[in-house]
Every structure is written in C-alpha cells, then in structure tokens.
Amino acid sequence: MEPAVIARDLTKVYPKARAGPPALSKVNLSIPAGQVYGLIGRNGAGKTTFVRIAATQLMPTGGSITVLGRDAVADASEVRRRIACVPQESRPLYFLDVDQLVYLYLRLRGMDRSEARRRTDSVLEELGLSAVRKKLVNQLSGGMRRRAMVAMVLASDAEVVYLDEPTTGLDPLARREVWGAIRRASQEHRTVLLTTHYLDEADALSARLALLEGGEVRLEGTPSDLRARIRHPYRVTVEGVLGRSELQSYGEVSDIASGFLVFARESSARDLAIFALGKGARVSMGPVSLEDIFLQVVGRSIEEEASEGAES
Amino acid sequence: MNRPRHRLRTILTLAYLNGIIPIQTQPLYLVNVVASPFSFLFFIAIASQGRLLGYGVAGGMLLTVLSIGTSLQTDMSHYKQDLKLQDLLVASPVEAPVYVAGLALSELMYSLPAMALFIVLLYLYTSVTVLGAVTIALVLLLVWGFASALGFTLATYFQDVRETFAISPLISIGLTVLPPVYYPISYLPGWVHPIAYLSPTTYAADLLHGAVGLGGPDLTGGAIDWAVLIAFTLGLLVLASLKARWREP
C-alpha cells in the first residue's frame, strides 16, 4: 500500500527566524497508510511544524510533501478534501453543545444532513459522549472537550487525521479516554498522525514512531525497532552495596535516587544482574522505555524545552 | 461532488453556526448591534431638532453594515488565534472565500433587527421611491462586501485578538466619523472634503442620501460614486483573496 504521507527533504524556516536554525531541516519521512504514526519530541522539536505543513496550514520553505499521493503545496485543495486535523491547543466553539459541534463540523465538510446525523449519533455513542450531547462544550471538563474535538474529526470521512498533542494538559483518566478514541480510528484503518511528548502515549498507540529533535529525524521505526537500534537496549537498576566504578564496565551509568541506572547491551545487562545479585544488591532489569531511548538519543529529557530557532 | 451546492451548504451552515445559534443563546447580542447607530441617530435628531433625521437614518444603516466588518474581524481573529478554528477548517474541504462568506452572512444576521427598525423609520420619515430602495439595497450590499473583505484580510494578519481592539476603532473613525455619514458633506470645511473623499463610505453615504430624498449627487456625481464604490469593493475582495493568509507563509 502506498504511504499516506511522504516528506522529502522537507525544510521550514519561519520568516521571523531566518537567523536561527530551521524549524525543520531536510526531514524525510514515509508514513504508512492505515496506522497510527507517532511523532515524538520535545516542545520546539518541530512536530507541530511538520503537522501544519502536512495539513496544508503552513507553507514549507524547501523539499516536498505528498499526502495520499497529492502534492500538499500545489494540490492543497484536493488534499484538504481527504484530511482532518485537531490543531494543537484548539478549543471548540463555546456556544455549541457537543452534538452541534460534531454535526455542524460534518455539515461544514459538505456531508448531507442524514449522513451527518447518522455519523454524529454513532461517534457520540462510541466515544461515550451521548450522555453529554446536549451540554454546552464550555460546561465540559478539559478531557471531555478534547474528546469532543477528536470525535469531530473521527466522525468525518477523512482518510488522514492529524492530532497535534491531543492530550496535553489532561489528567491520566482523560488521556485514556482520548486514547480510546484514537484506537478506534486505527481500527477503521485510517491514518492517524499523532504528535505527543508523552512517550507512554506514543508507545501505547503508535505502530511506528519518529523522534524529532532540532527539526531533524533522529530515529524512526516501530517501537521495538527503536529499542533494537539504540546502543544500550536494556536498563538495569542497582540499589545497594555497589559503587559506580564497579558498574561502569557494563554500560552507561546514571545516578538515580535509590542507586544507579545502567543502560547496557543484553549480554552485559544479564552479566551485571548476576554480578550485582551475587554481591547482595537489589536489581531490576528490563528493556528500555521510550523515555530511556529519548534520553540516550537526545541526551536530555523530553520534558526540557527545545527553544532554539523553532517556532513550534 | 456538486461544488456550488456544497459551497452554499457550507456558507449556510457557517451562518447558522455563528449567527443563529449565538443569538438564540444570548439575544442581548442584537441589542448591542442596535445600540451604537441608534444612539447616534438619537443625538443627531435631538441636536438638529429633527432636520437631520433622514441623514441619521441613512448613516445608521451604513454604520450598522460597516460594523459587520469590525465584528467579522474580531470574530475571525478570536477563532484563528484563540480557538484555532481557522487551522481546523483549512485542513478540510472548506475554502477561504466560503469561510468569509459564511461568517459575513452570520454577522449580517445580527444586524437584521436594526435594519428592520431603520426600514420602518425610512418609511415613516423619508420619501423613498422604488428606485431609491433598490439603490439603498445595492449600496449596503457593496458596503457589506468591502467591510467583510477588509475584516478578513486584517484578521489573518493579526497575531493576537487584542491587536484588533487597537486597530478597529481607527478603522471605524476612518470609515464612519470623518466621512459625512450622518450629515451632508457641505457641513464639513472645504479643506476636509478631499480627505473625506479618500474614504469609500463618503461615496456610499452620498448615494444613500440621494436615495432617501436628501439631495444627493447629480447624474455625473452618482456615476462617480458608483464607480468608486464598486472599484473599492472589488479591489478589497481581490486583495483579500490574494493577500489574506488562509495558509500561513
């Protein structure tokens, strides 16, 4: 199947930031159709810039991008018929109720009355919003509002759906509610491009991932590919009697509150665990998380802002 | 897909969404639209002891339609910057001219009660012929067109809604205070006339004054008024389509 989105040497320099580094620098990505594709990175890494270009909201400075085989710059109107987007920090029109929000969005997209009604009823039922369908959106919790926004685009006939940080600022329960909606889209074999800086979210939802840093793609693949491709795919925590110098030969050692965290290759991780257990230390071992991968590749936590040059 | 029908459906949906629903939710919006033009009308009628009532009605109609542009600009800025509605609609089949037309039509909804009141006043206090009524309708249609195009163009350039609060009053002064909207141009000192004629509303007001039986332009003057008003409206519509930022650069 042809990829849903193909970016080749995609570059963006914001007009007001010409002196700084580009927001996107020769990004090459091929996003498969019919899956959830996660775009992860710190704030300012270039995720939103990529989404906005792919969603035809922003002009690139260089390179090319095609969506469903159409050029997103030259053939934007054709692309727009087949995409939908929940922009970052978007909010619903506060004077609408949940039912109106979804139904009128579908009508704006050109759907006829009966089809819009059928899809609205269906999506509200499936996303657990039926009970609040007549409530004004400004009376809903943040999680419900975001869920209503996601419901809008999922109810549409868009083949590619862009969700730009759909769960930022939500509590864990509300995040899980939105995750359910995204999983539903992937079950319908739609392409969902999801940006997030919650690595657990990307891990839980994405079939493939790209890690953006400084406007460049630093890693790309399935979550298990990413784990396999980094230097130290295992993490071992060691608490107790051992000192740093005794651990350094096994891998990269970091201090943690209760002892040490060692990133190591599989064989070294196993040897270290046996050695540490033999010395009476408390040991836990497992594959690295996306958070660990991010730390290893970027050298900083995803929570730190990437402020250089990039507008978003 | 039937494109014209689809576009019309989108325009009417936007008008319903941004016009009818908020009015149903909060009918006080309508009072707000009526308040300014009728306040001016009240003061002008009192101060002139009724002599300028016709000018006040013509000016009130003009101000009501011009205020659509200001409201459109504020709404669009708010929807673009705060709610990200514009981005949401850019990534959909909705086209920029359809979005503008839909929102412009929605803003027109708010002004309908005020316009109805002005029509009653026109009927009671002025002598409008059928030709005059057609003239009024066409002039107001053109003013609605350029006010909406101006509102959209400015809204796409602002980075913050507060900027619109700074700019809108200046535009209102340029379009409604200096031009002789509520009074005959002969009341202005001679040296101000060239400045007044820089504003398209001067030409619109001239035509409206003629239409409500308050003198107005002769044949040549009327032709010039129409030509300038149409050129200005078309120019702003072209400018809006070329320069307004549907997709960010």
pLDDT at A308: 43
Residue in this structure with the two tokens 């909060």, named with its chain if needed:
B26
pLDDT tens-place string over residues B111-161 = 998 999 999 998 888 888 899 999 999 999 999 998 888 888 888 777 777
Q: Is residue A303 part of a domain?
A: no
Tokens of B43: 């003061």
pLDDT of residue A271: 94
The position carrying tokens 């205020």 is B67
Does some domain include residue A294?
A: no
Backbone φ and ψ for A128, nearest 5 degrees, come out as: 70, 30
Residues A194 and A267 occupy one common structural domain: no
Give domain status of residue A305, yes or no: no
Distance CA A165, CA A39 (A): 10
- The residue ranking higher by pLDDT, A117 or B182, is A117
Q: Which member of A76, A91, A96 has the closest CB to residue B247?
A: A76
- Asked whether residue A22 is domain-assigned, the answer is yes
**Domain presence at residue A25:** yes
Strand partners, A67: A5, A70
Task: Note whether ipTM > 0.90 here.
Answer: no
For the domain that residue A133 is a member of, what is the CATH number?
A: 3.40.50.300
Q: Which of A187, A204, A227 is the last residue of a domain?
A: A227
Asked if B110 and B198 touch (Cβ cutoff 8 Å), the reply is: no
Question: Quick check: B248 and A58 CB within 8 A?
Answer: yes
pLDDT at residue A5, rounded to an integer: 97
Mean per-residue pLDDT for B53-57? 88
Give the phi and the psi of residue B164 in degrees, each rounded to 5: -65, -35
Residues A21 and A140 in one domain: yes
Residues A103 and A167 in one domain: yes
Taking chain A (312 residues) in consecutive chunks of 10 residues, what is each chunk's mean pLDDT?
93 84 94 94 91 97 96 95 93 93 96 95 89 93 87 93 87 81 84 89 91 92 82 88 90 87 90 93 87 77 57 48
CB distance A84–B93 less than 8 Å? no
Query: Quick check: is B249 in a domain?
Result: no
A11 or B40: which carries more pLDDT confidence?
Answer: A11
Residue B35 lies in a domain: yes
Chain B residue with the nearest C-alpha to that of A96: B21
Residue B32 sits in which domain range?
A: 3-243
Within a domain: A277: yes
pLDDT at A113: 94
Do A47 and A189 sit in the same domain of this protein?
A: yes
Sequence-separated (6 or more) residues with CB below 8 Å from residue A160: A4, A5, A67, A68, A82, A83, A84, A190, A191, A192, A193
Among candidates B26, B88, B93 on the partner chain, residue whose Cβ is nearest the Cβ of A90: B88
Provide the residue range defining the domain that includes A42.
5-227
Sheet holding A259-264, edge to edge: A251-256, A259-264, A234-239, A282-287
Same domain, A204 and A92: yes
Q: Is residue A101 part of a domain?
A: yes
Quick one: what percent of chain B has pLDDT higher than 70?
99
Round to whole Å and give the CA distance between B92 and A77: 9
- The predicted model gives B93-101 an average pLDDT of 91
- Assigned domain for B181 exists: yes
Looking from the CA of A307 toward its CB, the CA atoms found within 13 Å total 2
What pLDDT is attached to residue B183?
A: 84
What is the domain count for chain A?
2
Does B90 lie at the interface with A, CB-CB under 8 angstroms?
A: yes
**For chain B, what is the domain count?**
1
Asked if residue A103 and residue A47 are part of one domain, the reply reads: yes
User: Is the same domain home to A99 and A115?
Assistant: yes
Question: B87 and A56 in contact by Cβ < 8 A?
Answer: no
Check whether residue A28 and residue A78 sit in a common domain.
yes
